[in-house]
Structure 1
Amino acid sequence: MMRPVLLWWGTGAILIAVMIGILVRGDVAPGLDTGWNTWMAEIRTPFLIGAASVLDRVGGGWIATYLIPIAILVALLVARRWRGAVFVAVTLLVSAGVVQLLKTLFGRARPEDMLVTSDFGSFPSGHAANAATLATLAVVLFPRLWVWIVAAVWALAMAFSRTLVSVHWLSDTAGGILVGVGVTLLMAGFLLTWTRWRTVDGEPVRAEAETSQDDGVAR
């Protein structure tokens, strides 16, 4: 994907997220949000609530904030993909920063019937944003069909789980996904030249293309 396309899509996704935030900023949730929240309450089962509780723990707190990012960074560093590691670290930091900025800016109240405890600001969903960021990073770094499928399932499952336990409105999770995808695409566009992405045999790959002065081999 060419750099201008990444920048345009990334910017567009974030702008749409901001527009959603403006539309839902009031104290009264839109009909779609309230209708979805009511439906979630109707379809809850012990199994679904248990699964959502697991995703709540995995997608937030020390697991999502520290364990998963550190594991990814260590794997990239062990593979000597230094630039990939920087790309991941910068993207995760920027995504988290944008989420907190929008939470503070909009200060939206959460649903009153939420089943799990959470912090301030309902819009956008931090869990959904983090899941979408990790999913998009995975697709960018490892562009394979199975990665696309797993990444999409992960992000959508996280978003669904947040509304199932009524800790977020539907629009919160949509905004979170847009922020996660948008920030990742923007960072990819900004770092495109530096990371020297290329296409090999018609298939996009993530190449470090660092040439060793000792042996002249691209790494």
Structure 2
Amino acid sequence: MESHLVRSWRVQLLTGLVLLALACALGAWVLARGNDPFAIDAWWNGLLPHTETDSVLFDFSLVMNSVGGTWVAIYVIPLGGALALVLLRRPWAAVYFVAASALSAAAVQVLKHAFGRARPDEILIVSDYGSFPSGHTANAATIAVIAALLFPRVWVVIVGAVWIVLMAFSRTYLHAHWLSDTLGGALAGAGVAFTLAAVFSALLAQDRVRIQARRQGAREASLADENPS
């Protein structure tokens, strides 16, 4: 059990640090180019409508804009998720969720001010300073990785990946970000989630041990009821 915990901790830490390094490297590449968009950025940006504000995709993107970056993302999702984890009797998972969400948002702001990339001229909404990385996509990636680590199921991973892609699409559809900004955001958000998972690994293991003990106790009580002495 202990050796498995050590291996898991090391893998999570290495994965997180590598992802964060890749996000920083991409940002440095952006900065070295003088903030000019990459060819794929210009191509993708050119494919999307620049003035359309009356469509299902535009409305969908506005909803994602609110869910991923307003008070919903800042308060409702972290606190609601933490409350759900507490009700599931996973208190350290709740602390990890809140801490990762806060650190992800802070890391995004640091990177935004470090690289200072200009947003696309066609932006259809009002947004804050800095295009790289996408804070909305970083938040989506943080949540997706947390969910996959806490509830390791294939369907959780798939839903999380779809959530990241949809958020990234919505940010580019609104021309709030270049495509590479969303990649940088996904790398940063996932990197924070993995890194903090390593930091919280022993505490998260305590949650799992308590849950397993509770389930074992419930099974033993059920067997005792079925086979009274």
Q: TM-score band, normalised by the shorter chain?
A: 0.7 to 0.9
Structure 2: which amino acid aligns with 1:7?
L
Q: Which ranges of 4 or more aligned residues in structure 1 deviate by more than 4 Å? A: none
Q: Aligned-pair distance for 1:211?
A: 10
Partner of 1:162: 171
- Counterpart check, 1:128 vs 2:164: no
Q: 1:34 aligns with which of 33, 39, 42?
A: 42
The share of aligned pairs that are identical, in percent, is 42
- CA distance in 2 between counterparts of 1:187 and 1:5 reads 12
SS at match of 2:48: helix
Against the structure 1 CA distance between its residues 211 and 40, is the aligned structure 2 distance closer, same or farther, given a 3 Å change threshold?
Answer: closer
What is the correspondence of 1:1-219 to structure 2 with a 5 Å cutoff?
Answer: 2-25=8-31, 26-41=34-49, 46-196=55-205, 207-209=208-210
What TM-score comes out, normalization by structure 2 length?
A: 0.84
- CA distance in 2 between counterparts of 1:151 and 1:143 reads 11
- CA distance in 2 between counterparts of 1:111 and 1:211 reads 50
- CA distance in 2 between counterparts of 1:126 and 1:41 reads 22
SS at match of 2:147: helix
RMSD over equivalenced CA pairs, Å:
2.4
Structure 1: which amino acid aligns with 2:96?
F
Q: Aligned-pair distance for 1:210?
A: 8.0
SS at match of 2:124: coil
Q: Aligned-pair distance for 1:117?
A: 1.1
Q: Aligned-pair distance for 1:103?
A: 0.6
**CA shift digits 1:10-29 (9 cap, x unpaired):** 11111010011011122322
Q: Aligned-pair distance for 1:87?
A: 0.9
Structure 2: which amino acid aligns with 1:19?
A
Computing the radius of gyration from Cα coordinates, the structure with the larger value is: 2
Partner of 2:226: none
Counterpart contact for 1:81–1:208, Cα < 8 Å: no
What TM-score comes out, normalization by structure 1 length?
A: 0.87
- CA distance in 2 between counterparts of 1:69 and 1:27 reads 32
Q: Give ranges in structure 1 of 5+ residues lacking alignment.
A: 198-205
Against the structure 1 CA distance between its residues 117 and 208, is the aligned structure 2 distance closer, same or farther, given a 3 Å change threshold?
Answer: farther
- CA distance in 2 between counterparts of 1:39 and 1:28 reads 18
SS at match of 1:41: coil
Counterpart contact for 1:83–1:208, Cα < 8 Å: no
**CA shift digits 1:139-175 (9 cap, x unpaired):** 1111112211111111110011101111000110000
Q: Give ranges in structure 2 of 5+ residues lacking alignment.
A: 1-6, 219-229
- CA distance in 2 between counterparts of 1:68 and 1:31 reads 35
Q: Aligned-pair distance for 1:40?
A: 2.1
